[in-house]
Amino acid sequence: MPPKGNVGHVKPQSTHDQSHRKAEALLNAAERGSIPHLERLQLEWPADTSLAQRAMTILLGNLKAEAHHIPRLESQAPDKELQRSLDIALASLAGLNGALGPLDSGPEMQAKQIVATFHPYLEYYLAWLRFTLVKPHLAMPPQPISPGLQAATRLGTLMEVGMHMTEDPEILERIVDLSLLIFTADSQPVAIFTQEQYDTLVAPKLNPLGLCLRPNTPTREALYNKLNSWNTRSLKRLFEVFHREFLECSAGIPKNTPGVNCTTLSSYVFFTLSLSSRLPRFCKIMMKSGFPTLAVKAALDVRLAPARNLPRGPMSLEISTVLFNRQILLVDYSRRLVTQVLKAGILEIIVDDLLAPRDKGEVFDEWKFDEYVGHPLGALLCASYDRHIANALNTAIMSLSPTTTRNIALNDSARRIWGPFLHDFQLHQAALRQFSDDRIPICDSLLHHAVTKAGALQGTPKECSTCRTTVYCSIDCQREDWDTLHRYECTRRRVELIDRQLTGTSISHRTRVFNLLHLEAIMNRELRHRLGSGRHKGMVCIFDRTVHPMSVHCDAIENPALYKRLQFHDARSRAMLRQVAEDDSGILAVCVSASGRCGVATVARFTMGPSMALQLQGGFCRVSDVKE
C-alpha cells in the first residue's frame, strides 16, 4: 500500500492563474510580432491591469515602429517588406479596440491610465487612423462598416475620455485634421437610408467633429483657426458635405411621427450654424445655399418628435432655437438668414410654442434673446427695419390659419404677447402699403421738401456715382447738396459702404425709403393727437425700436445731451438740426432700430399739415455696426 500523506497530490490551479498564464502567453506571441495574436487582443484583452498596460505598450510601440513606412505605403504598391509592416500596424490597430471597448463603461481611473499610456504614442496612432481613410483598399477588405465609421468610433472613444484635452498644438491640429477627414470621407451620395440605418452607419462620423466643437475644449479654437486658414473652395466642399448629409438624414425620418429620435438631424443644424457664427465665408456659402430654409422645412416635418437638448417641447422648437437666437444674429448676412427662415415658416413654430401648455417656466423660455428684446416675436420686430424681413413677416402673419388666430385670442398668456407684437407691427404694415418697388421717392438735398410726394419727384433719381449712398430728384438738387455737404463726406461714405457690403450690414435706397415711411407712420400714430395744432418749434421725438415694446421720448433740440446720445457729430446731422430749429413748424424725429450687429438710425424732418397729419419733409439713415 502506498504511504499515507500528500505525496503525489497536485494542487489545482485557480481560474485566475490560468487566465493570467494564458494572457501572458498571448502577449509573448504578440510581442514577437504574430499577426493572429495581435488581432486576438481585440477580443481577449487582459483583465489584469499590469498585463493590460503591457499589451498597450506592445501595440502602440508597433504603431510607432512602423509609422515611418506610411509615406511609402501612400505613394506605392507595398512590396513584401511594406506588406509585413502594414499587417503589423493594422493588426495592432485592431488589437487596441480591446482597450477602447470598455472605456465608456469602465471606472474613471482606468480611463485616465489608458489616456496617460496613449499620449506618448498619440501622433502615431492618429497617423495610422488617417492612413486607413486615405488608403482604405489597403487598410481593410471590403465590408459593410466603412473605414470612416471605424476611425470615428476609435477617435471618438478616446476624445470622450479627454484625449483631446491637451495644449500641444501639433496634437490638436492632428485631431482636428483627422476629425474633418473622417466626416468628409466616404461622403459620396448613396441610396436613401432608413433612420435606423443612417444613425448606425453614417451619423457616428460626425461625432469627433462634434467633440471638437464642445465648449471649453482646446480643439474648438483649433478647429476654427484651421477652417479660417482654408480657401473658399475647401470651405464650400465642407459645407456641401453638411448639406448632403442633412438631406440624406432628413429623407430617412418618417414625417409627423410621434417619438422619432431626430438627434442627428438637430446636430447637423447645430454644427452648421456653429461654424457659421465664427467663419464669415462659411456663413456666406451657407446663406447662398438656402440651408436655413431647408432646416426650417425639416423642422416643420418633425413637430411631433420630442426635443433632445431642451427640457421640453418638440424637435421643431429645438431646431428653430438654433437657427434664430441672439448669437446667430451677430453673424454677417444675418438679415438674409432671418428672411429665409420667415419665408420657410418659422413663425408657425414660434406660434406653436406660444400656444403650447407648460407645467413650469415662462413662455419662450427656450429662446435665447437679450432681455430688452424679450422673445422671438420681439426680435423679429427689431429686425423689421429691413424691408425684406418686414415683408416676409407680414406674409407669414397673413398666412396663419383662422384656427390659429382664434386659439391665440382664446389663450390669455398668448394674447398678452401677441397683441402688443401685432400692434407694433402694424406700423411696418402701414409703411409696406405705401412702399412701391418701381420708384425711389427720395432726395438727399435738405432743401428739397415733400420727399414722399410723388409729384414733387419727377424723372429718374440721380445717384452719386462715386459713393452710391445718396440719390437726388434732379441735377439741381445734386449740385446744391454737393456744394454744401456731400463734397466733404463722399469719399468717407464710399469706404463705409464697401465695409458694410462686405459684412452684409449695408442698406439699399429702397430700405431707406421704407424706414422713412415707417417713421412717418410712427409719428402719425404716436404723436399726431398728442401734438395737436400748437407750435412745436425745436422739438425732437426719439423712438427706440431696439426694445419691445417701442419706447418714445421727446426732448428740446437745444438740449446738449441730445447730440451726445444720438451722435449728431457729422455736418449733415447738424444741418438738419439747424433747419428744424429755424422752422417754427418743424419737428425732428429719430427712430433707432437694431438687430444683431446692424443698427439703423432714421432721421427725418416733419411738419404739421392742414389735415393735422404729420408730413415727411426729408430725411436720411445712418447705419452702424456694433462690432466696430
Average pLDDT for the chain: 87
| DSSP-derived secondary structure for 497-552 | HHHHHHHT----HHHHHHHHHHHHHHIIIIIHHHHTTS--TTEEEEEE-SSSSPEE
Q: Across residues 250-274, what is the average pLDDT?
A: 94
Q: Across residues 280-304, what is the average pLDDT?
A: 96
Question: Which stretch, 20-29, 370-379, 403-412, has highest mean pLDDT?
Answer: 403-412
How many Å separate Cα 220 from the centre of its chain? 14
- Annotated domain spans of the chain: 230-434, 454-625
pLDDT score at 448: 78
Closest CA to 485 of 606, 588, 604, 576: 576
Q: pLDDT grade, residue 183 (50/70/90)? A: very high
pLDDT score at 585: 74
**Residue 452 in this model has a pLDDT that exceeds 50:** no
Q: Across residues 438-462, what is the average pLDDT?
A: 66
Q: Could you tell me which residues are beta bridge partners of residue 623? A: 600
186, 147 Cβ separation under 8 angstroms: yes
pLDDT score at 534: 56
Q: Across residues 1-5, what is the average pLDDT?
A: 50
Q: Across residues 516-543, what is the average pLDDT?
A: 79
CA distance 232 to 542: 43
Q: Across residues 200-228, what is the average pLDDT?
A: 95
What is the DSSP secondary structure assignment for residue 192, as one 8-state letter? Answer: P
Q: Across residues 103-108, what is the average pLDDT?
A: 68
Question: Per residue in 37-89, pLDDT tens?
Answer: 999 999 999 988 899 999 999 999 999 999 999 999 999 888 999 999 999 99
CA distance 625 to 600: 9
Q: pLDDT grade, residue 14 (50/70/90)? A: low
pLDDT score at 43: 92
Q: Across residues 150-157, what is the average pLDDT?
A: 92
Question: Per residue in 32-48, pLDDT tens?
Answer: 999 999 999 999 999 88
Q: Across residues 395-422, what is the average pLDDT?
A: 96
Of 415 and 186, more confident: 415
pLDDT score at 548: 84
375, 364 Cβ separation under 8 angstroms: yes
Question: Per residue in 317-347, pLDDT tens?
Answer: 999 999 999 999 988 889 999 999 999 999 9
CA distance 93 to 60: 8
Question: C-alpha grid cell for residue 211?
Answer: 467633440
Helix (H, G, I), strand (E, B) or coil at 287: helix
Closest CA to 346 of 325, 373, 372: 325
Of 424 and 188, more confident: 424
CA distance 515 to 604: 10
